[in-house]
Structure 1
Amino acid sequence: MDINTKYNNYLNTNVPVANLNSALGKNDFLQLLVTQLKNQDPLNPMNDKEFIAQMAQFSSLEQMQNLNSSFNAVKAYNLLGKTISATINDGGVSKNINGKVEGVFSQDGQFYLKVQDADVPIDSVVTVTT
């Protein structure tokens, strides 16, 4: 049996590094678990302890994602009315934004700040002043 060691063929270099870490989520984990159950040997099924451990991992992953989302919401709403400085990518060009946070909104699980008619991702904030 040959083993493929050419890992670079499978790496999409167009994906930002931040997205590589978040590429596997709870849906992927659940899909892997279901695939594992479908393809197990009926004469030698998965040990129930392994199954329970995997379900506990799934539950932990889901709770961590919920906690992270809640933390980002609190972080975003705490910036309302404060003056921030951020660096955003506007069409491939880095742009510095300075101003008072006038609003907060969420889109696709990401929180954005409304500053001077610009939508600033919360992770782009560099400094905060009152």
Structure 2
Amino acid sequence: MAINTNYDNSYMNTYTDGTKVTNPNSELGKDQFLQLLVTQLENQDPLNPMDDKEFIAQMAQFSALEQMQNLNESFSAVKAYSLLGKTVTASVDSNGSSSTVTGKVDSVKFDGSNLYLEINGSDVSLDSVTSVSD
């Protein structure tokens, strides 16, 4: 007997209102967590409502998630600013080809979601740095 391993998981990538989930890492972000909580509240049984202790615990988890994300952004910024004036080597992918950029970090740029180091007049993502030297 053959076992079918081709599953259609497209239903797992949509909210109840039909909008698509656009989180490429498949991690539960704060927006998805809040949407899940609202959906849970909308669909609870009126004769058996959610226990207030459960609701408070979920809100605490939401708050903790948000604070961890804020800390992560702060640590990334500190890491980027600590590289100012240092010589770094980074692996940069552009148009399907990989190249190595080496130079002194002249400035740090933040575009709202990503940090970039300016090296020899070009912006390099902080995540692409492979080595650092004084």
> Same fold by TM (over 0.5)?
yes
Please say if 1:97 is aligned against 2:105: no
Find the structure with the greater CA-based Rg. Answer: 2
- Gapped regions of structure 2 (runs ≥ 5): 14-23
| Aligned CA distance change for structure 1 residues 84 and 7 (closer, same or farther; 3 Å) | farther
Percent of paired sites with the same residue? 60
Q: Distance in 2 between matches of 1:28 and 1:110?
A: 21
What is residue 69 of structure 1 aligned with on the other side?
A: 73
| TM-score of the aligned structures, taking structure 1 as reference length | 0.83
**TM superposition shift of 1:112:** 0.6
Please say if 1:20 is aligned against 2:25: yes
Larger proportion of helix: 1
What is residue 37 of structure 1 aligned with on the other side?
A: 41
Q: Distance in 2 between matches of 1:58 and 1:38?
A: 18
Instruction: Name segments (4+ residues, structure 1) moved above 4 Å.
Output: 5-9
What is the root-mean-square deviation of aligned Cα atoms in Å? 2.0
Aligned length: 119
Q: Distance in 1 between matches of 2:6 and 2:30?
A: 27
Helix, strand or coil at the partner of 2:25: helix
Please say if 1:111 is aligned against 2:115: yes
Helix, strand or coil at the partner of 1:101: strand
- Gapped regions of structure 1 (runs ≥ 5): 13-18
- The amino acid across from 2:25 in the alignment is L
**TM superposition shift of 1:7:** 4.8
Q: Distance in 2 between matches of 1:84 and 1:95?
A: 14
Alignment deviations for residues 45-80 of structure 1 (CA, whole Å, 9 cap, x no partner)? 111111111001001100000000000000000101
**TM superposition shift of 1:24:** 3.0
| TM-score of the aligned structures, taking structure 2 as reference length | 0.81
- The amino acid across from 2:54 in the alignment is E
- The amino acid across from 1:61 in the alignment is L
Helix, strand or coil at the partner of 1:102: strand
